[in-house]
Homo-oligomer: A and B are copies of this chain.
Amino acid sequence: MSMTIDIHGHVSAPPELYSYKSRLLASRGYNRYPGNVVPEDRLREETDKHVQLLDGVGTDVQFISPRPFQLMHSESPASIVRGFAEVNNDTIARVCEMEPERFKGIAGLPQSPETDMTPSVKELERCVRELGFIGCLLNPDPTEGAGSPPRLDDRYWYPLYEKMSELGVPALIHSAGSKDPRETYSARFITEETITILNLIGSDVFKDFPDLKIVVAHGGGSVPYQIGRWRAARIRQGGETYDFDEDLRRFYFDSVLYNKESIDFLLRMVGTDRVMFGTEKPGSGSSLDAETGRYLDDLKPVIEDIDWLSDDERAKVLEGNARDCYSLLK
C-alpha cells in the first residue's frame, strides 16, 4: 500500500507568530526576543486542525515551510528577516515534533538583498542538523520585485548550492512578496518560477553542483505550457529538437495546479518521474468548487482520475519521486 506525500505545504501557525513579525517590523528589528512567541496550546490547536484537513484528503505526510508571502525578504534591516525566519523555523520544528509521522520541516531562509548567502547557509545548516529538516525554500528575488537581484546562475548563490549539496537537501523555488502594484505576490510566484528555469537551464550551475536538486513550485510557472518557444530558441543556438525538454527534466516539479487538465499536461510534458504530489493545503487552492463539492486543492482524486497513468507511475507521483528527491526523508 503506497503512501501519499505532499511536498508543498506551509505551517499553520497561530496569529501570535505574525504578531511577533508585526513587532519586528514596527521596531525595525529592535524588539527581538523570540523566547515564547507561539504558545504551545495555540500551536497544538492549529496543528490539530491542519492534521484533520490532511486526514480528510488522504495525505499521509506533508512537508511544511513558512508561509512564503509572509517572509518579507526585502525588509530592512536584514535582522527583521532573520528574526522572523528563525522563529518560523523553530515553530515548524515544534509542529514536526508534535506530529513526527505527519510533518517534515522545510526551512525558510533569511534571504536579504542586504547580505550575501552566509546567513542563509547558517540557518539551513541549523535547520537540517539541529531541527531535522529535509529541504529549504529558495526565493530567486529577495528584493520582492523592487530591485535587481543576481541571476540564479550567478556565483552569489554558490555558497547555498554548496551547502545544499553537502547536506543533501533540495530547494523548492518559491518567491515571497511582491512590491510591484501590477503583480500580486501570487502572480509573481509564477513569474519567478519561469525566470528560475530559464536562468538555470543549460547553465554551469548543474555542472558545478551535479547533486543539486531544484524543485519548481506550481507546475513550473509558465515553462511547460510555453515549451515550444524555448525549444525553438535552443534549436537556434545549435541544439536538437528536444534538447530543451531533456534539460527541463533536470528539475523537479510539484503538482500545485488546481485543475486536472493542467496536471495532466504537466505530467505529459516533463514526465511522470519528475512530478511530485503537492497541494499547498491549506492555502491558495482551498476554495470550494460548488459543482463537485470538493476543494480545488483536493488533488489526490484528480491524480487518481488521470487514467493513462499506470499504478506504478501514480505511486511515483504520490510517493516515490518525493523519496528519490528528498533523500533525508526517512
- A residues contacting B by CB (< 8 A) are 140-141, 148-149, 151, 180-184, 186-187, 190-191, 194-195, 198-199, 218-219, 221-222, 224-229, 231-233, 235-236, 240-242, 257-259, 261-262, 265, 268-269, 284-291, 296-297
Can you report 22 residue pairs joining A to B where beta carbons are below 8 Å apart?
A: A140-B182, A148-B180, A151-B182, A182-B195, A182-B199, A183-B198, A187-B194, A190-B194, A190-B226, A191-B191, A222-B222, A227-B259, A228-B285, A229-B258, A231-B258, A232-B284, A232-B286, A232-B297, A235-B289, A240-B290, A261-B268, A265-B265
Besides the known contacts A190-B226, A194-B222, A228-B285, 10 further A-B residue pairs in the complex with CB atoms under 8 A apart: A149-B182, A182-B195, A184-B198, A186-B229, A187-B195, A190-B229, A218-B226, A228-B257, A233-B287, A235-B289
Q: Which of B149, B151, B268, B296 contacts A235 (CB 8 A)?
A: B296
Q: Can you tell how many copies of this chain the complex includes?
A: 2
4 nearest CB pairs, A to B: A228-B258, A222-B222, A235-B287, A225-B225
Give, as a whole number of angstroms, the nearest-CB distance from A239 to chain B: 9
Give, as a whole number of angstroms, the nearest-CB distance from A286 to chain B: 7
Q: Are B181 and A151 closer than 8 Å at their CB atoms?
A: yes
Among A180, A194, A290, which residue has the most Cβ atoms of chain B within 10 A?
Answer: A194
- Given the interface pairs A241-B291, A261-B269, A268-B261, the reply to whether A229 lies near B182 with Cβ below 8 Å is no
Residue of B nearest to A225 (CB): B225
Contacts of A227 in B (CB 8 A): 259, 262
Among A148, A149, A225, A257, which residue has the most Cβ atoms of chain B within 10 A?
Answer: A225
Q: How far is the CA of A148 from the CA of B296 in the complex (A)?
A: 34
Q: Are B228 and A290 closer than 8 Å at their CB atoms?
A: no
Q: How far is the CA of A262 from the CA of B222 in the complex (A)?
A: 11
Contacts of A242 in B (CB 8 A): 291
Q: How far is the CA of A181 from the CA of B186 in the complex (A)?
A: 22
